[in-house]
Structure 1
Amino acid sequence: MQSLNISTSAMRGIQQALDNTASNLANLDTIGYKRRQASFSELLSDSMNEQPKVDDQNRNTPFGLRVGSGARLGLTKLDLGQGNVKITDVPTDVLIEGDGYFAVTRQTDNKDDYFLTRDGNFKITRHKALNWYTLATPAGDYVLDKSGIPVQLTDPNQPIRIDAEGRVFNGDDDNPVAEIGIWKVNNPDQLQQVGKDLYDADLEDPIQLTDKYADAVTEGIATVRQGALEGSNVSMTEEMSQLVNIQRAYQLNSRAIGISDQMMGIANSIRSR
């Protein structure tokens, strides 16, 4: 029975790893997508120490027999490698070079939700509540500046320029009208994906933004590039290689279940005689 439990738990974890690989392949062309890499951990194991005395004779291995319970998917680690640079020459497209995230907000059910994203495919739109022009994602989420409020543009008909520090210049004015916030996340693996290349920022109020996250530009770990987007960091070759390994592991454990079933069938037939 133990062999059945071990192989069954392994197949369950392998299925989850397959789902992770499928998700990576599905987002091969998603702007700003970061692939996840599956890693496995061992389930609870036991040590059988009460063995017959005869087993201790001429024994070279440590005392006791280690009996495992299989493996499970322990973690899907976020790969923070930089994606390919896609030059678009669109003034509202913004690329983060280095480690950092944009912060965006969305109003739902009379409250504001806050998210982090690497997708810098922005557009100019009017903020419905604040009645000023700002930058927003294609889904309508407003981009936040360094103070936690939506970026404010003075004249949407004038060209905008964004420098390496995220400062936004509108028209011929040499004074920045806003500064796009680029935020440092200390433990990106803890970010919860909520779809559409967004991560839950775990904020109730924009004031908490500067308390929870540091300025990635000030920290010197990120810069901004206008007129470009970051592609997905998924490698088709690597994912297909991982897919082959998953398939072989699934076949191995499936074969182990079949052999265990045959062994139990033989044992039952001998007992019935």
Structure 2
Amino acid sequence: MSFFTSLSGLKGAQTDLSVISNNLANVGSAGFKKSRAQFSDVFAGSPTQSSKTQAGQGSRLNAVVQQFTQGTLEATDKTLDLAIAGEGFFVTRGEPPRAAVTYTRNGAFQVNTNRQVVDTIGSTLQLLPVDANGNVTSATIASATNFVLPTASPTNPNVSLINVSIGIDGLVTATYADGSDQMLGKIAMASFTAQEGLRPIGDAHWQSTGESGQPAIDSPTNGPLGSVRSGALERANVDVTEELVALISAQRNFQANAKAIETASNMTQAIVSIR
């Protein structure tokens, strides 16, 4: 029995090493959120047995839980590099016909050939409609539209676009060569009651699930969403020193369980060899 108990500990230590390795591998990934392996003990006994004389039967993986703590903001030179100081997520939409909605903290946006502002997986950043005063008129995913850079002024096609600015409240303003401005909308952001329930799909993107609950959509600076910082990116929230210490601990755990298996094997061999 001790052989299988130690084997469960060996598997747990291996999983812990895998999670820590993944955290360290993504130190340089923008918007990455570290994870932590959570384990629980295994105990089994019949109602007629005394728990005082029963030993545990090992451990099992309970969950690999993501840690959505704030990462460090790093300044860049690009207006379309966006970072969130808060708990919100950017809302992005994929290409039709699927048009999958995903949520990300990776604000490394760029412009594609269709002048859409897209993220690292090609999904388009969503904007909420605003009125003449810059106030959001509808805060739902259905009302959000793709962030598309205009080529010229809506009132004069001969006047070209010269600048785009993004405020901390997510308001996107286009400036044209004749000095006129146009508010394109506010960046759509989402918050979740249970962030740990989000389903990771890679590239610092997540999808909502029944465990995360439905997203609350709004513009930046509202509630827990936080503000948007143009010209900055959020670094991974991985502390290398902390992860290295955890790596050493997981390695020691792995070695101890391997030694326990070796000891159990030697004991069994000794018993079998008795004449």
Alignment TM class, shorter chain as reference: 0.7 to 0.9
Partner residue in 1 for 2:266: 262
1:224 pairs with 2:223: no
Aligned-residue offset at 1:167: 1.0
Partner residue in 1 for 2:60: 72
Aligned-residue offset at 1:264: 1.4
Cα 1:77–1:164 shift into 2, 3 Å: same
Aligned-residue offset at 1:97: 0.3
Amino acid at match of 1:165: D
Which SS does the other structure have where 1:82 is aligned? coil
1:155 pairs with 2:151: yes
Give the percent of matched residue pairs that are identical in Structure 1 and Structure 2: 27
Q: TM (normalized to structure 1)?
A: 0.82
Partner residue in 2 for 1:46: 45
Amino acid at match of 2:91: A
Which SS does the other structure have where 2:246 is aligned? helix
Higher mean C-alpha displacement, 16-25 vs 167-176: 167-176
Cα 1:74–1:245 shift into 2, 3 Å: same
CA RMSD after TM alignment: 2.3
Which SS does the other structure have where 1:263 is aligned? helix
Aligned-residue offset at 1:235: 1.1
Q: TM (normalized to structure 2)?
A: 0.82
CA distance in structure 2 between the aligned counterparts of 1:40 and 1:250, rounded to whole angstroms: 14
Structure 2 residue runs of 5 or longer lacking an equivalent are 129-142, 153-160
1:108-160 residue CA offsets vs partner (Å, 9 max, x unmatched): 6x322221110001112354xxxxx3311133211112333212333374211
Amino acid at match of 1:192: R
Cα 1:173–1:11 shift into 2, 3 Å: farther
Amino acid at match of 2:105: R
1:139 pairs with 2:121: yes
Aligned-residue offset at 1:228: 0.7
Cα 1:145–1:201 shift into 2, 3 Å: farther
Cα 1:48–1:82 shift into 2, 3 Å: same
CA distance in structure 2 between the aligned counterparts of 1:182 and 1:175, rounded to whole angstroms: 21
Partner residue in 2 for 1:207: none
Residue pair 2:208, 2:215 contacting (<8 A) in 1 also: no
Partner residue in 1 for 2:107: 120
CA distance in structure 1 between the aligned counterparts of 2:166 and 2:250, rounded to whole angstroms: 44
Residue pair 2:93, 2:125 contacting (<8 A) in 1 also: yes
Aligned-residue offset at 1:4: 0.9
Residue pair 1:182, 1:217 contacting (<8 A) in 2 also: no
1:92 pairs with 2:83: no
Residue pair 1:114, 1:202 contacting (<8 A) in 2 also: no
CA distance in structure 1 between the aligned counterparts of 2:6 and 2:180, rounded to whole angstroms: 67
Higher mean C-alpha displacement, 137-146 vs 254-263: 137-146
Amino acid at match of 2:184: V
Aligned-residue offset at 1:42: 1.3
Partner residue in 1 for 2:135: none
Partner residue in 2 for 1:213: 216
Partner residue in 1 for 2:137: none
Partner residue in 2 for 1:58: none
CA distance in structure 2 between the aligned counterparts of 1:83 and 1:225, rounded to whole angstroms: 13
Higher mean C-alpha displacement, 245-254 vs 216-225: 216-225
Aligned pairs for 1:186-201 (under 5 A) are: 186-201=193-208
Residue pair 2:33, 2:237 contacting (<8 A) in 1 also: yes
Amino acid at match of 2:204: D
CA distance in structure 2 between the aligned counterparts of 1:68 and 1:249, rounded to whole angstroms: 17
Structure 1 residue runs of 5 or longer lacking an equivalent are 52-62, 128-132, 204-210
1:18-55 residue CA offsets vs partner (Å, 9 max, x unmatched): 1111111110011111111122111243268557xxxx
CA distance in structure 2 between the aligned counterparts of 1:68 and 1:220, rounded to whole angstroms: 43
